[in-house]
Amino acid sequence: MAVRGRGGDRDVESLIAVVALGAAAGGFVQGLSGFAFGLVAQAIWAWTLDPALAGPLTVFGSLLGQILGIGAIRRGFDARRAAPFILGGLLGVPLGVALLHRIDPDWFRAGVGLLLLVWCPAMLLARALPRITRGGRLADAAVGLAGGVMGGLGGLTGPAPTLWVTLRGWGRDAQRAVFQAFTLVMQAMTMTVYVASGTVTPEVATLCLVAAPALLLPTLLGLRLYRRFSDIAFQRIVLGLLAVSGLLLVTAAVPRLL
């Protein structure tokens, strides 16, 4: 099996190990928090995989993890609350896919990572999180649009809606229900567009077969741990994971930019 990496064809066993490690780490974090598969997995894969492989692979892993975690959002799901995010995201995904081969992925990762690295620790250090009550459904749809564009670019649908619903001040289950339902729909649409456009090559399909079993058990373990956290603890976990993900993204992207 020849798979394209940063430096050409890679040793098969090493490549499988890297893909499996990224999938397992991303699956556990997504099971725990409901998001961040792409942030975690790409921080590992970015050192080895070409962006044209890492993007579709990230979308596949995130989608599979969200399907496994559907049961975690049943209690807090409200279709009227989630609809603006999803509708905005559906408009954003095709735009993101169109930009996939026109934007430098390292600049994209560095920008997202820097934003998370600055914003999330500030929120963790604040005595109380600011609460946004204005903007209504139009603001929610705009955030969904941003998440859709980021998802189409590289499977990073989570950061924008996740930060936004945290600042909305909703409870743990309501927050997770919104951004997990959003991510599930966005990743399903993105994968459909990838398949239709030929972005899912035989190389990508082969790596998906490696990632799928690697993320299964870690995702289920993360889901079990999620049920033990309070609303405040869940908020801190979400912000902490986003901050760490930002650091990993910046660390992976900046050396190549320099």
Domain boundaries, position 172: 4-257
- In 18-174, beta strands by DSSP E: none
- Largest separation between any pair of C-alpha atoms in the chain: 53
pLDDT digits (tens, 9 = 90+) for 182-241: 888 888 887 888 888 888 889 899 999 999 999 999 999 998 888 888 878 887 888 888
Structure tokens at 160: 């924008």
How far apart CA 250 and CA 43 sit, in angstroms, is 9
State the helix-helix crossing angle for 12-33 and 202-226, rounded to 10 degrees: 40
Q: What 8-state DSSP symbol labels residue 155? A: S
In the chain, the number of structural domains is: 1
Which single residue is written with the structure tokens 């009227």?
80
- Does pTM surpass 0.85? no
Tokens 């649908």 -> residue: 157
Which of helix, strand or coil describes residue 4?
Answer: strand
Coil, strand or helix at 200: coil
Whether residue 141 has pLDDT greater than 90:
yes
User: Is there a contact between 187 and 131 (Cβ–Cβ < 8 Å)?
Assistant: no
CA angle 223, 108, 38 (to 5 degrees): 15
51: amino acid identity, one letter: P
CA separation for the pair 167, 153 (Å, rounded): 25
Amino acid at the residue 164: W
User: Between residues 215 and 11, which one has the greater pLDDT?
Assistant: 215
Query: Region 137-165: what's the mean pLDDT?
Result: 84
CA distance 66 to 185: 9
137 vs 157: CA distance, rounded Å:
18
Phi, psi of 227 (to 5 degrees): -65, -10
More confident residue, 39 or 212: 212
